Amino acid sequence: MTLLDKLQIELPSWAFGNSGTRFKVFGTPGTPRTIEEKIADAATVHRFTGLAPVVALHIPWDRVDDYRALRRHAADHGVRLGTINSNTFQDDDYKFGSLTHTDKAVRQKAIDHHLECIDIMAATGSRDLKIWLADGTNYPGQGDIRGRQDRLAESLAAIYQHIGEGQRLVLEYKFFEPAMYMTDVPDWGTAYAQVTALGERAVVCLDTGHHAPGTNIEFIVAQLLRLGKLGSFDFNSRFYADDDLIVGAADPFQLFRIMFEVIRGGGLDESSPVALMLDQCHNVEAKIPGQIRSVLNVQEMTARAHAVDTDALAVAQETGDVLGANAIFMDAFYTDIRPALAQWRTERGLPADPMAAFAESGYQDTINAERVGGTQSSWGA
């Protein structure tokens, strides 16, 4: 299982804060008040799984005075800082757009925010600047689709020229929400066209919840890998919209198919730059075990996908043996890999059952008791 030893999953700091829907955000005891506490929680996920050594930051939610100190704090907890995620959707100035805004001053403000993020990357040692834009419009006629796209290209170019050697600009696309008629980067095609225009260090982020109903996501994975433009994943799962549920919870077979194409396309090769990140929104489930479950699901489906007998599959595919090929593929999905993974963990000094081990560890009780007072972190702060 050497491939599994390479599997590293990046956790989003905000997954440990409160989040929810427009109807209600439920707070829970023990929720972090600071980025330092979020990192402690993320490190706990890694300690129990061995899978999640990287924590992504969100600016300004995770803004601190001293990022180098934060970097040491992470190292002290056994993890490192990862992707820097920008935010241009929570300021009144951005009501009608950020990088696409008709007002040059607003665009410049949004560009400057990204330059701040790039500065932070230098301090945190982060490789990736991830840009998800809420830009878009709610009503036909509200904005000029073409003009917005042109301004987007211009703004991205202004940011891109500050992306250093060994760094990447990662552009995320999203089908809808919060914009309800048109988003400015709605699909992989748009993200691909934009990053291709920028240059080699610009790549695409695929969030598994950001597609139209019925979209074959593994096809996009295969295609972006083929084109050399798959930068990273935001893993989560959904039944309807951008539900941001636990990874693999809605359709484990889809996760299996996605990981199969990741492997097929070299996304887990030694030299692969593809970042596997989670992006969930814990609404009703416990946060830390919710993340543990997600990283275990990614690992499990990666292991099942890796178990496909690709030689036999290739023969069946080439001979038009539809049922045979499908059977080979499904056999790997249906085979219970969990005992092997428990052994993999035990061999590495990890708990065989991370969910149970966490529950028994008392960590949650400790933070419930300690984290009293202050303001719990959420999307708003």
Site for a second copy in 61-100 (CB under 8 A): 89-90, 92, 95-96
**CB-wise, 67 or 173, nearer to a second copy?**
173
Q: Which of 178, 199, 362, 374 binds a second copy (CB under 8 A)?
A: 178
Q: List Cβ neighbours of 82 (8 Å cut-off, separation of 6 or more).
A: 10, 54, 55, 56, 57, 126, 127, 128, 275, 277
**With CB under 8 A, what is the number of residues at the site for a second copy?**
102
Q: Do β-strands 230-235 and 275-278 pair in parallel, antiparallel, or remain unpaired?
A: parallel
Find the binding residues for a second copy in span 333-362 (CB under 8 A).
Answer: 333-336, 338, 355
Closest contact distance (angstroms) between CB of 36 and a second copy is: 25
Measured CA angle at 301 (ends 297, 304), to 5 deg: 145
Measured CA angle at 47 (ends 46, 48), to 5 deg: 90
Interface with a second copy includes 379 (CB under 8 A)?
yes
Angle between helix axes 67-76 and 104-124 (nearest 10 degrees) is 40
Phi-psi domain of 312 (left: phi exceeds 0; alpha: psi -120 through 50; beta: other): alpha
Closest contact distance (angstroms) between CB of 270 and a second copy is: 19
Closest contact distance (angstroms) between CB of 167 and a second copy is: 25
Q: Do β-strands 128-131 and 136-137 pair in parallel, antiparallel, or remain unpaired?
A: unpaired
User: Which helix (H) or strand (E) is 56 found in, with range?
Assistant: strand 54-58
Lookup: tokens for 229: 């433009």
Interface with a second copy includes 322 (CB under 8 A)?
yes
Closest contact distance (angstroms) between CB of 148 and a second copy is: 9
Cα 377 to Cα 140: distance, rounded to the nearest angstrom? 36
Q: For the chain, what is the radius of gyration of the CA atoms? A: 21
**CB-wise, 227 or 357, nearer to a second copy?**
227
The region of 65-73, 123-131, 314-322, 340-348 touching a second copy under the rule CB under 8 A is 314-322
Closest contact distance (angstroms) between CB of 350 and a second copy is: 18
**CB-wise, 41 or 261, nearer to a second copy?**
261
The values of phi and psi at residue 187, to 5°, are -150, 170
**CB-wise, 123 or 182, nearer to a second copy?**
182
Lookup: tokens for 285: 């489930």
The interface mask with a second copy, positions 131-160, x = CB under 8 A, is ---x---xxxxxxxxxx-xx----------
Interface with a second copy includes 367 (CB under 8 A)?
no
Lookup: tokens for 264: 């097929």
Interface with a second copy includes 261 (CB under 8 A)?
yes
Find the binding residues for a second copy in span 219-258 (CB under 8 A).
Answer: 219-220, 222-223, 225-227, 238-241, 243, 245-246, 249-254, 257
Terminal Cα-to-Cα distance of the chain (whole angstroms): 41
Interface with a second copy includes 117 (CB under 8 A)?
no
Lookup: tokens for 5: 């030893």
Q: Which of 190, 272, 361, 376 binds a second copy (CB under 8 A)?
A: 190
According to DSSP, the residues that pair with 93 across neighbouring strands are: none
Lookup: tokens for 48: 């129990």
**CB-wise, 160 or 260, nearer to a second copy?**
260
Q: Which of 2, 65, 161, 213 binds a second copy (CB under 8 A)?
A: 213
Interface with a second copy includes 125 (CB under 8 A)?
no
Find the binding residues for a second copy in span 270-289 (CB under 8 A).
Answer: 281, 283-286, 289
**CB-wise, 19 or 44, nearer to a second copy?**
19
Query: Which stretches within 88-137 are classed as H helix?
Result: 104-124
